[in-house]
Structure 1
Amino acid sequence: MTQHPDPVVRITPGEVRGFWRGDSAAFLGIPFAQAPVGDLRFAAPVPPEPWDGVRDAVAYGATAKREKPGEKTLIPEPAVAGESTLNVNVFTPAPGRADADLPVLVYIHGGGFTEGSPASPWYDGAAFNRDGVVTVTISYRLGFDGFGHIAGAPSNRGVRDWLAALEWVQTNVAAFGGDPSRVTIAGQSAGGGAVLTLLGMPAAQGLFHAAWALSPALGDVPGERARTLAAKLANLAGVPATREGFASVDEATLTGLQERAGRPASTDRLAFVHALLEDGLTWGPMIDGDLITRPTIDSLHAGVGADIPLVVGATDDEFTMVTDGAKNLLRLIPASLALGRLNVDARARKAYLAANAAQRRKGTAAVLGRYVSDVVFRSVVARTAEARGGERTWVYRFSWTSPTIGWACHCLDVPFWFDCLDAEAVPALAGDDPSRALAAALHGAAAAFVRDADPGWPAWSAASGTTRVFGGDPSRPDVIADGYASVRALV
């Protein structure tokens, strides 16, 4: 067997050395910006300093996510210690071949804009490399450091990190065999929200050419709410709500306090859910009047990003597993009454329950779980597709039920999308024998879209409601006429 030498490529700041693993190479932890510490902690990202010689890129770089002992997440997303948290990972079958002109996938991790890591084994680009796609995963600042309002500091620093990473891709991806004119961005959950935010952001136009949003959770934090939260956080920290004040608080302390600042006051289970549904995410992209001037759906409706093809979809029961834990407590409460406690008005309740009759038969916990899933994720899919009108938009549902969780739950689609069913921790979410055919279908559609800007099923934009169902009832068609009819009462 021929032993390939470690691949070395030259990018703008200097040379980087990766490593081969089979027929593709990995380059890990390459900085796209300087470490956001000291004077740069609350600054816009600053390009990295050039280096001499060859820089090793053989281990994941530091992550904005910090270690939490005993923490278990649906997706294994390791925390890597260190300060230089703004980095990219590149997986490529053609390192150093600037003439390869392969399509490029840039993936943005999720985690509610406060957690998550690009170092997950699920995000390895091996399967996309196999299919002729260069894959890049990016990091960004999280929580208050990335998204909180700070007087005297640039707004939306995490969003600026996304932009800086995409600019890095435009400048450097050819060195890894990628074509900067064929970049698709994708992400799941908060990462899917990031995709839609970038799609509707004038400042991001030209940095990518197609987009795929998995289970998108939008931030769209109103400016006034962001300022109120910042004041609350400053009060908890005992510092002025200024750049200097927040900079005087160490990262670990501020991260702990940001959870308290965003916590609803009520401890009642339904009131707690209601507060989250009404207020949305605490930390995330803010409507700042600069980068983001209006809610994302409004921006898409106004035609921003209209020339960019989009695929958007969600799992059928994103968060039903959460309410499922309370099914014994909820079994005697009528679904209509429970929705009323969430301030769903009578007319909307009636329409919603009629449209979700099958779910209603599973009990009140199942209805509430579906409702939360619909408000946070699935209605965003339908609203996004409708907002784009006749522009190229494809919609899907992931309906395969996890044998371990019991629902088509949040994050379940990710290892199928990446075709990494043998990766660490997949059995905990997808069982010991997940469907290889389903992975081939979903990943195949993703690879086709990155290559050809068409995932292979009829577009919603050609006939409103058209939806591809992955992992549904095999006796029914894969493409249905109105796949999100059950959320229309919320749209």
Structure 2
Amino acid sequence: MAFAAPSTSPESGPEVRTAAGAVRGTREGGLAVFRGIPFAEPPVGTFRFAAPQPVRSWGGVRPAIAFGPPPPQSGLLGASQAPVGDDWLTVNVWTPAPDGADLPVMVWIPGGGYVGGSSGLPEYDGAHLARGGVVAVTLNYRLGIEGFMHIEGAPDNRGLLDQVAALEWVRENIREFGGDPAQVTVFGQSAGGGSVASLLAMPRATGLFHRAIAQSLPGTFFSPELAADIGAACAAEIGVNPIVSELSSVAPSLLPAVGDAVSAMVGNWRDRWGQITHRPIPFAPVVDGDVLPTTPWQALADGAGRDIDLLVGHTRDEHRLFSLIDGVLGQVTEDQTETALQMFAPGPDGVRRYREAFPVATNEQLYELINSDWLFRMPSLQLADAQISGGGQVHLYELTWSSPGMGGGLGSCHGLDIPLIFGNLTSGRPALLIGEPLPPAAEELSSCFRTAWTDFATHGDPGWPRYDADHRLTQVFDTSSTIAPYPEEASRLIWQDHTFPALPLLTE
């Protein structure tokens, strides 16, 4: 297929030849920017629910000035984007030098609970990072039922396989954009951080990246039995069997609502699905023994990350944003706190240990602590510990700055690191967490974050000492940033014997 340059793309726009064909981007603020470059065939028709297929080549010059359409996704978090096509599997590139400069490459994997998000969101604009001397790449991957539901006749973890295909595209093409394919860093937050951790454990991803940054890694990975049971519930909601031949007859645009409906009814399966019914999480990577042979923690402890430089961390008040979304911020009851402790505290005496470790904590403080620890803080910390035990190197951080955005009260909540790292402090939904007028501390912190992230991508050193089991030194990002022993020691001691296994199906 031949593509003519559109009228909105000047003939002088930067042009690069990829393995599949030539693309023309735009020049923006001293950068060459390319949007919506396909790295795989659209996963529809005969490719529906299959592993990503190599993109077909094209003749002429393909315009690369607009983001590709977002994959079909959930509307539960209020950020749903209406699909405008089926070419979901695309990458975007910001580069200061598309001329063989061999710059470090940073590949961003968006988060969104494995059900939402896309690379075209304004918060993920890579211009500020690229101006720091790297080639910034963002990507799309399949979400929800399309990407993560267990379906008979289809590979599990299709969304993760999409990410591998995007990294293969980077390996094959990034030198033409000024990047060094031997110096690739993957980074992501929330489900993006979980994806980064998964890639560390995936044999198919070996050699595709050399450094990794996992931000606010969720601890939710599913056993095949749990994934199959959730898949059966989703299929039953449509009135089909959870097999490729029947699900393929349902339009992709209709499937996110099915996942949302199951999420809204998770309480019906509390005795079978356990913890994920308290914080509705219908989709996550599946430890299937093939695409994902084991959990990331086990893989790193076994040495899978020994040759990968790792940077990992979390925010202090991870769960407070979800308390706001759930309508319980400032209104947590004693019963809600007790339920959360019983559901998530590790081991037979976990509830007692929490109450003894935090004797003056209010109900709300305990509720926030246990939810933050189970979902993000302790999985992130234990990824660092697993990397050490497997003979690898790791740097640890925590963001503790309390933003005044959203009326204050959210502290250092989940997602606050995104605008700070990308430098997009006034655009995109996460910028609401910072607020207006823009606090001077936000600009200073953003500069510190971006410097640390690009330095890590360049040298494997973000600017503070490595984390180890003796000193547990951690970069604490705040108005006055410091290097200190890991701040959440009380929680660490409670969770130190927990292994974050793949979540099981509780009853057959």
TM-score by length of 1: 0.90
Matched, 1:486 2:490: yes
Residue 505 (structure 2) aligns with: none
How many equivalent residue pairs?
A: 476
Q: Which moved more, 1:235-244 or 1:336-345?
A: 336-345
Q: Counterpart of 1:365 in structure 2: which amino acid?
A: E
SS in 2 for 1:423: coil
Distance across 1 between alignment mates of 2:260 and 2:187:
27
Contact kept in structure 2, 1:195 and 1:211, CA below 8 Å: yes
Q: Indicate yes or no: 2:244 matched with 1:252.
A: no
Match of 2:419 among 409, 415, 422: 415
Distance 1:138 1:455, change over 3 A: same
1:468 aligns with 475
2:422 maps to a residue whose letter is F
Amino acid in structure 2 at the alignment position of 1:38: G
Structure 1 gaps of 5+ residues are none
* Local SS of the residue matching 1:16: strand
C-alpha contact (below 8 Å) 1:187/1:213 kept by paired residues: yes
Q: Secondary structure in 2 aligned to 1:45?
A: coil
Q: Does structure 1 retain, via aligned residues, the 8 Å contact 2:71–2:143?
A: yes
Residue 87 of structure 2 corresponds to 84
Q: Secondary structure at the match of 1:293?
A: coil
Alignment correspondent of 1:376: 375
- Contact 1:61-1:80 within 8 A present in 2 as well: no
2:267 match: secondary structure: coil
In structure 2, what residue type is equivalent to 1:305? G
- The residue that corresponds to 1:22 in the other structure is 29
Give CA-to-partner distance per residue, 1:465-484, whole Å, 9 cap, x none.
21110016x3xx71111333
Establish whether residue 320 from structure 1 lines up as the match of residue 320 from structure 2: yes
* Partners of 1:338 and 1:364 within 8 A in 2: no
Q: Distance in 1 between matches of 2:127 and 2:484?
A: 32
The alpha-carbon distance between structure 1 residues 200 and 334, as it changes in their structure 2 partners (threshold 3 A), is: closer
Deviations 1:92-145 (A, max 9, x none): 0112x12x0000000000001110111011211111211110000011000111
| Residues 164/344 of structure 1: CA separation in 2 closer, same or farther (3 Å cut) | closer
SS at the partner of 1:245? helix
Deviations 1:59-114 (A, max 9, x none): 0011104585x9634xxx8555211000000110112x12x000000000000111
1:446 paired with 2:453, answer yes
Corresponding residue for 2:229?
A: 228
Matched-pair contact (CA < 8 Å) for 1:27–1:91: yes
Which deviates further from its counterpart, 434-443 or 302-311? Answer: 434-443
Distance 1:450 1:341 in 2: 38
Answer yes or no: is the 8 Å Cα contact 2:397–2:475 preserved in 1.
yes
CA distance 1:289–1:262, change in 2 (3 Å): farther
Matches of 1:149 and 1:58, distance apart in 2: 35
* CA pair 258-426 structure 1, distance change in 2 beyond 3 A: closer
Provide the residue aligned with 1:348 in structure 2. 350
- Sort the Cα spacing of 1:55 and 1:131 in 2 relative to 1 into closer, same or farther, 3 A: same
Of stretches 231-240 and 59-68 in structure 1, the one that deviates more from structure 2 is 59-68
- Summarize deviations over 1:192-251 as a string: whole Å, max 9, x none: 000011012222110000000111124421101111122222222212221101111222
- What is the distance in 2 between the residues matched to 1:127 and 1:459? 26
- Partners in 2 of 1:279 and 1:427 — Cα distance? 24
C-alpha deviations, 1:327-350, integer Å up to 9, x for none?
A: 564356695676247676673223
**1:284 CA drift (Å):** 2.0
CA RMSD of aligned residues (A): 2.7
Counterpart of 1:312, as a letter, is: V
Aligned runs of 1:287-298 on 2, under 5 Å? 287-298=287-298
Percent identity for Structure 1 against Structure 2:
37
Preserved CA contact (<8 Å) 1:391 1:461: no
CA distance in 2, matches of 1:246, 1:65: 15
Determine the structure 2 residue equivalent to 1:455: 462
CA distance change for structure 1 residues 66 and 457 in 2, over 3 Å: closer, same or farther? same
**Aligned-partner SS, 1:196:** helix
Cα 1:304–1:131 shift into 2, 3 Å = same
Contact 2:398 2:477 in 1 (8 A): yes
Answer with 150-159 or 407-416: which moved more. Answer: 150-159
Aligned to 1:38: 45
Deviates more, 1:257-266 or 1:409-418: 257-266
Matching residue's letter, 2:349: R
Distance 2:49 2:336 in 1: 48
Cα distance between partner residues in 2 of 1:79 and 1:132: 34
AA at the equivalent of 1:281: I
Moved more, 102-111 or 314-323: 314-323
Aligned partner of 1:161 in structure 2 is 162
Q: Could you give the per-residue CA deviations for residues 240-268 of structure 1, whole angstroms, max 9, x where no partner exists? A: 22110111122233221222334454389
Q: Distance in 2 between matches of 1:71 and 1:143?
A: 13
Structure 2: state its 5+ residue gaps. 1-9, 497-508
CA gap of 1:339–1:416, structure 2 versus 1, over 3 A, is same
Q: 1:337 to 1:65 in 2, by over 3 A?
A: closer
Task: Work out whether residues 394 and 460 of structure 1, in 8 Å CA contact, stay in contact via their aligned partners in 2.
Answer: yes
8 Å contact from structure 2 (residues 344, 371) kept in 1: no
Q: Which residue type is aligned with residue 59 of structure 1? A: A
Q: Deviations over 1:315-362 (max 9, x none)?
A: 11111233364256435669567624767667322332344457x1xx
1:213 aligns with 2:214: yes
In the alignment, the residues of structure 1 paired with residue 387 and residue 220 of structure 2 have an alpha-carbon distance, to the nearest angstrom, of: 19
- Matches of 1:244 and 1:165 in 2, distance apart? 27
CA distance change for structure 1 residues 465 and 350 in 2, over 3 Å: closer, same or farther? Answer: farther
Q: What's the counterpart of residue 6 of structure 2?
A: none
1:385 aligns with 2:384: yes
What is the aligned partner in structure 1 of residue 183 from structure 2?
182
Q: Mark the CA change 1:72 to 1:52 in structure 2 (over 3 Å): closer, same or farther.
A: same
Partner of 2:136: 135
Q: Secondary structure at the match of 2:349?
A: helix
